């Protein structure tokens, strides 16, 4: 490799890392983290809190996604839908993903340390959960729900980052996120129904069937909307918050109209667009409610 080609190679490698951890999907989790943050602050947090909460979220998410790619690399290699992912395709080495995980973990821990003692004490617990949950698809159909709780760490963690304590409001917000994320993960993995049955992997769809999985997903979405409403009541939020809840509910209804047990061809639209709109609408509505 010549000196002139080194920057190009480094840039290509960086793009592979960013694609492998699906950095674009940060828009799903970060708005909910920021929702927990501004609720805890009852407005704007300090600049330091905002910076370190953002760094902690990026670090934690990178740990979770990198570990998921490492743990599932052999499964992904067998699955036609995932065989082009970076580790099975040889675009990245397992050792490189391990190194990325370690760096992200150090960044996450340092950011938690800069926030407050409780955030620092609980950071290893959150990291351990992110490392362990990818294994659950090997032995329990509740794996779809458990991945929801991986995303649900964000709002409660952000609340702790601001206040150094935890109350019922952020826990209820985290429950809403867990239900919302678990609902979609159930839908998303209906695409792998045949593969999961063949490989002995577990999900709601492989355990109860695709039709039942869609019904279960709808129930979780209803409960998620109820949990979001409960957050507004518990914190006496102003009317814009409830407008945001209604918008989120409408988006969830639209998501279920995009896909069905007979047709999952538009799953990508449901995943990228609708999920981003849901989390963003809740954050914007929360911010407006606090301003009012």
Of residues 23 and 168, which shows the higher confidence score? 168
Give the model's pLDDT for residue 125. 97
Residue 180 lies in a domain: yes
Closest of 98, 144, 104 to residue 127, by C-alpha: 104
Give the model's pLDDT for residue 25. 67
Whether 49 shows a pLDDT value over 60: the answer reads yes
Give the model's pLDDT for residue 1. 54
pTM, full prediction: 0.92
| 177-205 average pLDDT score | 94
Residue 6 lies in a domain: no
Residue 21 lies in a domain: no
The string of pLDDT tens digits covering residues 6-29 is 555 667 777 877 787 777 666 677
Whether 4 shows a pLDDT value over 50: the answer reads no
| Boundaries of domain holding 280 | 27-291
Whether 110 shows a pLDDT value over 70: the answer reads yes
Whole-number average pLDDT of the chain? 92
What total of structural domains would you count in the chain? Answer: 1
| 123-151 average pLDDT score | 95
Task: Assign residue 234 the CATH number of its domain.
Answer: 1.10.357.140
The string of pLDDT tens digits covering residues 220-239 is 999 999 999 999 999 999 99
Residue 10 lies in a domain: no
Of residues 269 and 263, which shows the higher confidence score? 263
């Amino acid at each position: 490799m010549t000196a002139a080609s080194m920057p190009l190679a480094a840039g290509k490698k960086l793009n592979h890392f960013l694609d492998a951890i699906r950095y674009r999907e940060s828009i799903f989790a970060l708005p909910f983290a920021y929702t927990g943050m501004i609720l805890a602050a009852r407005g704007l947090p300090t600049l330091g809190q905002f910076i370190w909460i953002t760094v902690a979220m990026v670090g934690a998410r990178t740990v979770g996604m990198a570990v998921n790619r490492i743990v599932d690399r052999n499964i992904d290699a067998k699955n036609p839908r995932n065989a082009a992912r970076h580790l099975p395709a040889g675009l990245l080495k397992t050792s490189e993903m391990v190194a990325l995980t370690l760096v992200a973990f150090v960044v996450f821990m340092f950011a938690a340390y800069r926030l407050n003692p409780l955030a620092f004490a609980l950071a290893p617990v959150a990291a351990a959960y992110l490392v362990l949950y990818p294994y659950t698809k090997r032995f329990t159909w509740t794996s779809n729900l458990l991945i929801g709780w991986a995303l649900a760490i964000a709002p409660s963690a952000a609340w702790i980052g601001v206040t150094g304590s935890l109350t019922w409001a952020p826990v209820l917000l985290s429950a809403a996120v867990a239900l919302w994320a678990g609902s979609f993960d159930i839908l998303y993995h209906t695409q792998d129904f045949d593969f999961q049955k063949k490989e002995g992997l577990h999900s709601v769809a492989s355990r109860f069937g695709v039709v039942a999985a869609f019904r279960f997903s709808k129930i979780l979405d209803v409960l998620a909307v109820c949990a979001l409403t409960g957050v507004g009541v518990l914190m006496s939020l102003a009317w814009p918050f409830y407008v945001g809840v209604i918008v989120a509910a409408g988006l969830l209804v639209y998501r279920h109209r995009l896909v069905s047990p007979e047709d999952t061809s538009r799953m990508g639209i449901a995943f990228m667009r609708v999920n981003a709109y849901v989390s963003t609408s809740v954050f914007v509505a929360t911010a407006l409610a606090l301003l009012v």
